[in-house]
Amino acid sequence: MRAYLTGFIGLFFAAQACALSLNDLSQNQAGDGMKAMLEQSARVAIQQLSQPGGFNNNPDVRIELPGNLGKAARAMKMLGQGKQVTALENSMNRAAEAAIPQAQELLLDAVKKMTISDAKGILNGPENSATAYLDKSSREQLRSRFLPMIEQVTQSSGLAQQYNNFAGQAANFGVIDAKDASIENYVAEQALDGLFTIIAEQEASIRQNPTQAASDIAKKVFGLIR
């Protein structure tokens, strides 16, 4: 009985020590750990998605034609008439891959601007809370940075005009959302969604297993949370 009590007391004080260690982290340490994790997640996502096939070969982020256009495209493929559809979708995914490197500077700048108050609120939030912060703080600027690159790729492919004409007519009848009627706008939004999907995956992975963090401060902060 005494051994059992001794073991229980030991576990209790060990748990208390972990709690105290987390509470004893300075605000700066907590903020630095959060920023380090987010920078790592962003860099990994950009490197992964900017590779040839980064979008096209990943079913979680692959860009396909939207809404009813997508349904029609899938039907055409099943009927053996999908060569043109496949070429267009490949072009959209290549455009996203070409645009993604433009995100790094803006993302890292958004991370640097994160306040201690922001970091504290995110620290104990859901597994994608840091990614959600980054999305909210940088999406508009990223969209503006992406569009010229996407326009260049889609125009040079010779398929942009065909998509825009077809999608524009469909939008007039409510077949697709007006925001999807431009291939450039559609690809930009899909590229951003894919980028933040991968960043969120990286964030969740580090939160679940802090040893995957590249920096010691991130390992310490997220290790204590675990």
- What pLDDT shows up at residue 73? 67
For residue range 175-205, list pLDDT tens digits in order.
Answer: 666 666 678 888 999 999 999 999 999 999 9
Residue 148 clears pLDDT 50, i.e. is over it? yes
Name the residue range of residue 62's domain. 2-225
Number of domains in the chain: 1
Q: Please report which confidence band the pLDDT of residue 139 belongs to, taking 50, 70 and 90 as the band edges.
A: very high
Helix 129-157 crosses helix 116-123 at what angle (to 10 degrees)? 100
For residue range 37-70, list pLDDT tens digits in order.
Answer: 999 999 999 999 999 999 999 999 999 887 767 7
Which range, of 16-25, 84-93, 107-116, 156-165, averages the lowest pLDDT? 16-25
Q: Please report which confidence band the pLDDT of residue 224 belongs to, taking 50, 70 and 90 as the band edges.
A: confident
Q: State the Cα–Cα distance between residues 145 and 184, nearest whole angstrom.
A: 12
Longest dimension (CA), the chain: 81
Total residues belonging to the chain: 226
- What pLDDT shows up at residue 14? 39
- What pLDDT shows up at residue 215? 92
For residue range 75-120, list pLDDT tens digits in order.
Answer: 667 767 667 677 778 888 999 999 999 999 999 999 999 888 888 7
Q: Report pTM.
A: 0.80
HEC sequence for the chain: CHHHHHHHHHHHHHHHHHHHHHHHCCHHHHHHHHHHHHHHHHHHHHHHHCCCCCCCCCCCCCCCCCHHHHHHHHHHHHCCCCHHHHHHHHHHHHHHHHHHHHHHHHHHHHHHCCCHHHHHHHHCCCCCHHHHHHHHHHHHHHHHHHHHHHHHHHHHHCCHHHHHHHHHHHHHCCCCCHHHCCHHHHHHHHHHHHHHHHHHHHHHHHHHCHHHCCCHHHHHHHHHHC
Which residues, other chains included, contact 97 with Cβ-Cβ below 8 Å and sequence gap of 6+? Answer: 49, 50, 51, 52, 53, 54, 55, 56
Which residue has tokens 């029609």? 72
- What pLDDT shows up at residue 107? 94
Tell me the percentage of the chain whose pLDDT exceeds 90: 44
Dihedral angle sign, alpha carbons of residues 82, 68, 164, 89: negative
Query: Structure tokens of 217?
Result: 């401060």
